[in-house]
Chain A
Amino acid sequence: MAPLTASSCAAPEQTVELPEGTNTTDQAVVQGRVLADAAPVGGAFVRLLDATGEFTAEVVSSPEGVFRFYTAPGTWTVRALSRAGSGQADLAVTTGVFEVDVPVAR
């Protein structure tokens, strides 16, 4: 367990590689890319919505279009909003690392 800090709401950088030491046995890591016609979209606003459509978290995609969420097993929707358009993808996860790409279009 990492120590609890009051500064830990700061958004981590969206790196291409899974950060070293990430716990993949207790949580579900949902990661992927935002794509417009197969080209990565950086700077997209990417949201994780729960099974009822309620907002759970949001990150800004990296220049490679990469996003990553740390969550619990269940059914989730990843939704992206960008200058290149919007789009979403659904997935069901258990614990571990799960990949999903989100296509966006106008």
Chain B
Amino acid sequence: MSREQALVTTDWAEQHLDTPGLVFVEVDEDTTAYDGGHLPGAVRINWKTELQDAVRRDFVDRPGFEKLLSEKGISNDDTVVLYGGNNNWFAAYAYWYFKLYGHQAVKLIDGGRKRWELDGRPLVTEVPDRPETSYTAQEQDLAIRAFRDEVVAAIGTQNLIDVRSPDEFSGKLLAPAHLPQEAAQRGGHIPTALNVPWSKAANEDGTFKSDAELAELYAAVGLDDSKDTIAYCRIGERSSHSWFVLSELLGKKNVKNYDGSWTEYGSLIGVPVETGSGA
């Protein structure tokens, strides 16, 4: 995978809005942002109600994903072009999620909604009417998804990358600072994890930094390319952003996203937790 395959510019996106075979999909942290205006022709996927199981803490299962994409009018042959707000956190999460269920033709708009709005590009409120399809998903590709036991086993043996802010990493904050600081779990990080905040991979306008800058970012903290890598954050969306950088832009092998992330790990009994800067 490479930048050319995985990423498109807002300019490219605007020029290709009407191209058959492309489906633009908005996935937002703020699930109401779509209602206020979205890219012409774009459909919405709600990460909370449509990608997560309503009862268990897990993703919708394979038949559920097939039903969702069929209803959205997305076929197996379509190229899905994702974008969203808040620096593409949830769009990157959806990108990883589409790959998890085997949809390979997927791209992310560099900078997402923020870059699009700062560019002053058109937003519309009309909701497109796409005919239903009969989508077939693959079994989950667990080569890109990490579970808690392998995370515990990775302590001291694999690259663990904590992509939260330094204050969350140290345990000073329990959540990103746009949210009230209330949570039941312990603060801190997984021992031996490197703290590379997701934001270091992005520019202020939400676009990704250059490949050279990104390669230097991870080299500088001592990421060992001979080892497998697991990225995590609080609920797995910011780490999808860093997974995208490592796997899709830099082409590193054997990179997994731990979607359980700190909300799971920081609530486990018996696992080691480290506080402080870790430096």
Contacts of B237 in A (CB 8 A): 9
Q: Which residue of B lies closest to A3 (CB)?
A: B184
By the criterion of a CB under 8 Å from any partner CB, how many residues of chain A are at the interface? 37
Interface of B is mostly: loop
Report if B216 contacts A (CB, 8 A).
no
Q: Could you say which of B173, B176, B181 contacts A9, with CB atoms under 8 Å apart? A: B176
Q: Bound complex: CA of A59 vs CA of B33, how far in Å?
A: 12
- 17 of the cross-chain contacts (CB-CB < 8 Å) are A1-B184, A6-B263, A8-B175, A9-B176, A9-B235, A10-B29, A11-B29, A11-B86, A12-B179, A23-B180, A48-B177, A54-B166, A56-B167, A57-B179, A58-B87, A69-B178, A71-B177
B179 touches A70 (CB 8 A): yes
Given A55-B165, A55-B197: A10 in contact with B182 (beta carbons within 8 A): no
Q: Could you say which of B31, B172, B178, B184 contacts A58, with CB atoms under 8 Å apart? A: B178
Contacts of B31 in A (CB 8 A): 10
Nearest first, the 10 closest Cβ-Cβ pairs linking A and B are: A55-B199, A57-B177, A57-B178, A71-B177, A4-B184, A69-B177, A57-B176, A56-B177, A27-B181, A11-B30
Contacts of B85 in A (CB 8 A): 11, 60
Report if A43 contacts B (CB, 8 A).
yes
Q: Bound complex: CA of A88 vs CA of B267, how far in Å?
A: 37
Task: Mark each residue of chain A from 24 to 61: 1 if its CB lies under 8 Å from any CB of chain B, else 0.
Answer: 00110000000000000001010110101011111110
Contacts of A69 in B (CB 8 A): 177-178
Q: Could you say which of B179, B182, B204, B234 contacts A23, with CB atoms under 8 Å apart? A: B182
**Which residues B171-227 have CB closer than 8 A to chain A?**
172-173, 175-185, 197, 199-200, 204-205
State the A residues within 8 Å of B (CB): 1-4, 6-12, 22-23, 26-27, 43, 45, 47-48, 50, 52, 54-60, 68-72, 79, 81-83
Q: Bound complex: CA of A11 vs CA of B205, how far in Å?
A: 18
Given contacts A2-B182, A43-B117, 9 further A-B contacts (CB under 8 A): A3-B184, A8-B235, A9-B237, A23-B180, A50-B166, A56-B173, A57-B165, A57-B179, A58-B178
B29 touches A22 (CB 8 A): no
- B120, B179, B263 interface centre (most CB from chain A within 10 Å): B179
Least CB distance from B66 to A in Å reads 23
Contacts of A43 in B (CB 8 A): 117
Contacts of B52 in A (CB 8 A): 6-7
